Structure 1
Amino acid sequence: MHEAEIKIERNADIIYNALRYEEAPRCRIKFELKKEKLIIKIEARSISNLRAALNSFLRWIDMIEKLLQKS
């Protein structure tokens, strides 16, 4: 099993609420929100599935951050 973790401190609650229902095919996604820190854990059987899920979540996080900067 391959794993990756994304740790977010800035805007953690907003990002959590925006992404907590997102899924990734052939991956297990776990969200933990603790004291203004968000941890997203991604597990996949293949490295290519892990990479695809990681890329998706990183793009979504980047999009949320850009939207927050504009408001």
Structure 2
Amino acid sequence: MTGRFAMATSADQAAARREALRECARLDAEIARLRKAAEKERQVPRQVELNLELKRAEAARAEVGKRL
């Protein structure tokens, strides 16, 4: 996911990475769901709302990606 490999130096660090990977997977699924919903939506105000949620989810995904 990051394009680089680094061994975990402790069990705590490995656990934190596993949790970050789970969170990344959850956010990736949420982003895909929001994209699909925004594409299908015909009402402009609802599209705007979905796109704002999408941007928030993408920002959260970027933050979680930094912890890997």
Q: TM-score range by the shorter chain?
A: 0.3 to 0.5
Q: Which has the higher helix share?
A: 2
> Which of structures 1 and 2 has the bigger CA Rg?
2
More strand by share: 1
Give the number of the structure with larger relative contact order, counting CA–CA contacts within 8 Å between residues 6 or more apart: 2
TM-score w.r.t. length of structure 2:
0.45
TM-score by length of 1: 0.44
